[in-house]
Structure 1
């Protein structure tokens, strides 16, 4: 699993060798403004970022620093006012909505705080949903393998309402892995979980990076969650103000305290 042999199709229909492409995520001069004139809100004030494949990056910052806007622009869920975004070697900034939707379904994975599972579908059907939406053959053997990786091999026929919160988030991770995406974007994936269950979920994301070669970009407010990442990026006022490699929860918390105490750290940007 996770071997990208052969070629695949770009958004314009041309074949590409995804294994030979460059960084997983690349943002150049990305700005995002809401509104105009004196009342404009500068949510992102010029982001330059390159994330290698097979890396786990956490993004943190004070409330209003631009974390959610960053994630939305990086994942193609929102369009920057200026700059360019490349995912898995593909420039997405000028893509039409249909092409963007297809790219998100087939080449990106998403894990949200609220799980976002469909209650009427079984666990297996939820996991296979991205393949179904992308028009791909629904591979039940692959679904079984991914569910086994997240410790839910015996839950395939259950519905989300029969599972605990931690189990539902495991289903969400399996769903994110099923298409072998270029990038998994996680938005506060442990926000609704207790400490023990959160550690289990973060361990699965860490395992996906270390063993499967996945690339994970996670927005979180929790220093303990960020400590699982290879690198923590700190946002303030819509721009990256600091970074920390392989930091402990204590060191990450101390850096966050410095950002929060900065004059103006809570102004001029929107989360």
Structure 2
């Protein structure tokens, strides 16, 4: 996936909000990239534009050599269903469907014949092959997120987008989920892009990109959690509005 000069502006004139200010980025196949930044830095907009869920105001997004920026909505929807995978903080599983049918859902939505062998294979990869007939409500939060990862991988997508995938999980369960994403990169050559606020989660990635005010301002390669936390602390300090001088009101 490549982003070239990607900008996203909401509104016009003096009230315009520049959510992205010219993102240039190449995401190689078989890589794990974490995206971090203070609140309002543009993380969510970045993910939405990269995944074709939102249209950039300017610039281009290419997926495996395919320009997706100018695609109509029907073609974009078909592309997302066949070539992209998504993992969300809230799992987004359908409670009325079994685990197996939840995993097979992307195939059904893409108009493909459900491949039960593929579902069994990815469920085995996430350690849930014995739970195929259960429903999400019968599983723990960590198990539900594993199902979501299996669902994201079943179509062998070009890119898996993970939006705060460990935000609703305890520390131990989060580590299991992150290890699965790491294994998807190492063993399946998946490309994972993860938005997170957690330095420990980011340390599972090959590199961490730091966003501030809609631009990539820093990056780390093969970071430790402590290195990520230190960069985030420094970045937040730089982007926080300065406090008014205590005598400013008296002077006025």
2:231 aligned with 1:255? yes
Contact 2:212/2:239 (8 A) holds in 1: no
2:192 aligned with 1:216? yes
RMSD: 1.0
State the match for 1:84 in structure 2: 60
> What's the offset of the Cα at 1:263?
4.2
2:168 aligned with 1:198? no
Distance 1:120 1:265 in 2: 47
State the match for 2:123 in structure 1: 147
Q: Using a 3 Å threshold, how does the CA distance of structure 1 residues 47 and 106 change in structure 2: closer, same or farther? A: same
> What's the offset of the Cα at 1:88?
1.9
> What's the offset of the Cα at 1:89?
1.6
2:14 aligned with 1:38? yes
Runs in 1 of length 4+ with deviation above 3 angstroms?
A: 263-266
State the match for 2:49 in structure 1: 73
Distance 1:116 1:210 in 2: 25
Contact 1:259/1:265 (8 A) holds in 2: no
Length-normalised TM-score, structure 2: 0.95
Q: How many residues align?
A: 242
2:187 aligned with 1:187? no
> What's the offset of the Cα at 1:111?
0.1
Q: Using a 3 Å threshold, how does the CA distance of structure 1 residues 111 and 172 change in structure 2: closer, same or farther? A: same
Contact 1:147/1:153 (8 A) holds in 2: yes
> What's the offset of the Cα at 1:265?
7.3
Unaligned runs of 5+ in 2: 243-252
State the match for 1:138 in structure 2: 114
State the match for 2:71 in structure 1: 95
Length-normalised TM-score, structure 1: 0.88
Contact 1:236/1:265 (8 A) holds in 2: no
Kindly indicate which of the two structures has a greater share of residues assigned to helix.
Answer: 2
Larger radius of gyration: 2
2:91 aligned with 1:106? no
